[in-house]
Amino acid sequence: MRPGDTVAVVSPSGPPDATLLARGVQRLEGLGLKVVTGGSALDRQELPYLAGSDEARAADLQAAWCDPAVSVVFCSRGGYGAARLLGLLDWDAMRAAGPKTLVGSSDITALHQAFGAELGVPTLHGPMPACNLLAAGEEPEPDTWEHLLAALERQAPPVTGDRVLAPGRAEGVLTGGNLSLLASLCGTRHQPSFEGGLVLLEDIAEEPYRIDRMLTQLLRAGCFEGVRGIALGSWVDCEDPYPVLRERLLPLGVPVLAGLPVGHGSPQMSVWLGALGVIDTESCSLAGLFRDEEQAR
């Protein structure tokens, strides 16, 4: 992403706050970027938690991805609704458009998973233009903003956690994201598989028994078979998730790094999904190894 590039902002999930969206767009324009916004980005339909109809949201996302002038597609916010689009997107057309970058987190996990499976492109799990960290104040949260920009240049420093649940070092393609969304994809065409790679997990406002239920669903579906390492991000408003995380994940016998500022907390660091990464519990870090396109999935 360079000054003069065109980037798109779309709303594949919930409707953003108009003031936050305008401020987020302004932040991107301050980088010298031309910003185009999806036509339904601020729409609301009968279901108020969706930014317009499924068809309109899918059309906005597909048009942005297939626009040869657009280099990066930012999702305005999370919420709910991205998974509803997976059967409406023309994957052949999007594949023919060639690689570019999708940025988002939370509910956008559904798109990260599908873009990796259908298009084979790495995507960026990071903050969104209409989220509080980038748009609520006079200035964006500095660590979040700086790490996002560095990640878009593929020059972001490693993300450091604050605890080790199981020691070791592991390398592989990083996938994952929001635990609730990953569990919801079980039994679908885009069911996750962490075989041979690393998985990132995070969530917000989930009680321990619900975290247990979702992990158990993924375990019983075979999603963790062959996983090499686990990176645990933020668990905002989840009481104390670590007893259940230890009980469910440590029997896998792989390194588990925890307390990474990735997910819903502040600051929110950006990580590439669908690209090589390494977990090193000695340095308590998750680092990207994305040096060139050959290292993408």
Q: Give how far Cα 61 sits from Cα of 72, 79, 265, Å.
A: 11, 16, 26
Tens of pLDDT, residues 263-280: 999 999 999 999 999 999
For the full predicted model, state whether its pTM sits above 0.75. Answer: yes
DSSP for 252-296, written as a single string: G-S-EEE--S-SSSSS---EEESBEEEEETTTTEEEE---SGGGB
The side-by-side arrangement of strands in the sheet containing 285-288 is 159-160, 285-288, 276-280, 169-178, 198-204, 229-236, 256-258, 163-166
Q: Which pLDDT value is given to residue 75?
A: 98
- Looking from the CA of 79 toward its CB, the CA atoms found within 13 Å total 20
Catalytic site positions: 106, 202, 264
Handedness of CA 162, 168, 170, 174 (dihedral sign): negative
pLDDT at 295: 41
DSSP β-bridge partners for residue 286: 159, 279
Task: Characterise 187 by phi-psi region: left (phi > 0), alpha (psi -120 to 50), beta (else).
Answer: left
Inform me whether the pLDDT recorded for 289 exceeds 90. Answer: no
| pLDDT tens, residue by residue, 205-219 | 999 999 999 999 999
Span 235-256, pLDDT tens digits: 999 999 999 999 999 999 999 9
Structure confidence at residue 143 (pLDDT): 97
Q: CATH 3.40.50.10740 spans which residues of the chain?
A: 6-152
Q: Which fold has domain 159-295?
A: Glucose Oxidase; domain 1 (3.50.30)
Which residues contact residue 82 at a Cβ distance below 8 angstroms, ignoring those fewer than 6 apart? Answer: 12, 13, 75, 107, 108, 109, 110, 111, 181
CB 264 within 8 A of CB 106: yes
Helix axis angle for 242-249 and 208-220, nearest 10°, is 20
**In the chain, where does the domain assigned CATH 3.50.30.60 lie?**
159-295
Query: Coil, helix or strand for 18?
Result: helix
What is the pLDDT at residue 44?
Answer: 84
**Mean of the pLDDT values across residues 180-186?**
98
Tell which CATH architecture fits domain 6-152.
Answer: 3-Layer(aba) Sandwich (3.40)
Q: pLDDT by residue (tens digit) across 59-117?
A: 999 999 999 999 999 999 999 999 999 999 999 999 999 999 999 999 999 999 999 99
pLDDT at 46: 83
pLDDT at 2: 86
Please tell me the distance from the alpha carbon of residue 113 to that of residue 83, in angstroms, as a whole number.
10
